Amino acid sequence: MPRLPEFLALTAEQREIQLAVRAFAAQEIAPHAARWDRESHFPREVLPGMAELGLFGMLIPEAYGGLGLDTVSYLLALEEIAAADAATAVTMSVHNSLPTQMILHYGTEAQRMRFLPPMARGDILGAFALSEADAGSDASALRTQAVRDGDAYVLNGTKAWVTNGSEAGVILTMARTDTAGARNGARGIAAFIVTPDLPGVRVGKHESKMGLRASPTVQLVFDNLRVPIDQLLGEPDAGFIYAMASLEHGRLGIATQAVGIARAAFDHAVAYAAERRQFGKAIKEHEAIQFKLADMATRISGARALLFAAAAAKDRGEGVTQLAAMAKLTASETAMWVATQAVQVFGGYGYVTDYPVERLFRDAKVTEIYEGTSEIQRIVIARELYGE
């Protein structure tokens, strides 16, 4: 029995994808998520099964070895992975939404043919290196330098908060091509397809995070890294614009991850409220709990409706800058709120690691932070109001 209404008019193919990924996630991912979190274990062993389902090439056209599916299908699959384990979901989201999309949209035919087929097969994971220690929300303040030297660019600098960074075979990296004296802001930045086999790339600090502990987040240090010119993506002054445009896709991915987390927290709360007895009856019979569950169901359905409206608009080829920001803002704040309520329904048991809701509570928080904080989403939404 579904606990939330499936209000989307899915095609037969989309429904099939949703059910296949749901079954896979229930069997291969959900039972292990608590241990992976506890042990900070990156679940490499689950990647081949995900790859077999095509989950690393959902948006990559068939000509480059992917499934060539629409955004709605991709996000339906991602939602199922996220409901089972948010950490595995961010691995999938970053790979599909950022590096593969950037190579597909801005790469040369040779770059697409070289990188997309192994990425679609899941042989190579992708990462996205934009942020730095002093350039988070203010992303265009990044300082990693890229200096042209013959047939290569030489990169120096340190990237921060790189999801998949220690596991990736392709790291889409933004670096400044303008010289120190002539900062052109967002315009003086290029995007590079960095591969970790190049001498001069080193994985730095592994972050120890509050949540998503099974997803590796690292610093990447570039020390006189020579990136061959054929691994420059598009125009040398347009990398920031490519990154911003791709983050629209990324933000839909994180919104989906948040919906998955909220759904999981809600499911646990519903089940627990039916089992737990206080004052002589199951706590679901108490109005205080009923109202909580009703509000959780309503908020999740609202966030999901906005998310899939944004995804459908993207599939129609419409600009979704504002909608993607709204979906990410709504879904992440919903995830945090729903996870908080779920902990409350569990009471003391919600506060201990024997039960899953404390992990969901910890996992939810980052969705309000990465790929643009809630404050940045509000800026993006407000700017669009005036067409800025």
The residues annotated as belonging to the active site are 371
Among 51, 186, 312, 381, which residue interacts with ligand CAA (rule: CB under 6 A)? 186
Contact flag: residue 372 with ligand CAA (CB under 6 A): yes
Contacting ligand CAA within 258-317 (CB under 6 A): none
Contact flag: residue 255 with ligand CAA (CB under 6 A): no
Contact flag: residue 222 with ligand CAA (CB under 6 A): no
Contact flag: residue 137 with ligand CAA (CB under 6 A): yes
The 3-state secondary structure of the chain reads: CCCCCCCCCCCHHHHHHHHHHHHHHHHHHHHHHHHHHHCCCCCHHHHHHHHHCCCCCCCCCHHHCCCCCCHHHHHHHHHHHHHHCHHHHHHHHHHHHCHHHHHHHHCCHHHHHHHHHHHHHCCCCEEEECCECCECCCHHHCCCEEEEECCEEEEEEEEEEEECCCCCCEEEEEEECCCCCCCCHHHHEEEEEECCCCCCEEEEEECCCCCCCCCCEEEEEEEEEEEEHHHEECCCCCHHHHHHHHHHHHHHHHHHHHHHHHHHHHHHHHHHHHHCEECCEEHHHCHHHHHHHHHHHHHHHHHHHHHHHHHHHHHCCCCCHHHHHHHHHHHHHHHHHHHHHHHHHHHHHHHCCCCCHHHHHHHHHHCCCCCCCHHHHHHHHHHHHCCC
Rounded to the nearest whole angstrom, what is the least distance from the CB of residue 147 to ligand CAA in the complex? 22
Binding footprint of ligand CAA, residue count (CB under 6 A): 24
Contact flag: residue 125 with ligand CAA (CB under 6 A): no
Contact flag: residue 371 with ligand CAA (CB under 6 A): yes
Instruction: Find the part of the chain contacting ligand CAA (CB under 6 A) among 4-12, 103-111, 137-145, 201-209.
Output: 137-145
Closer residue to ligand CAA (CB): 66 or 165: 165
Contact flag: residue 130 with ligand CAA (CB under 6 A): yes
Write the binding mask 153 to 182 for ligand CAA: x where contact by CB under 6 A, - elsewhere: ----------x-------------------
Contact flag: residue 245 with ligand CAA (CB under 6 A): yes
Among 30, 47, 59, 139, which residue interacts with ligand CAA (rule: CB under 6 A)? 139
Which stretches of the chain bind ligand CAA, using CB under 6 A? 90, 94, 128, 130-131, 137, 139-140, 163, 186-187, 240-241, 244-245, 247-248, 321, 370-372, 376, 379-380
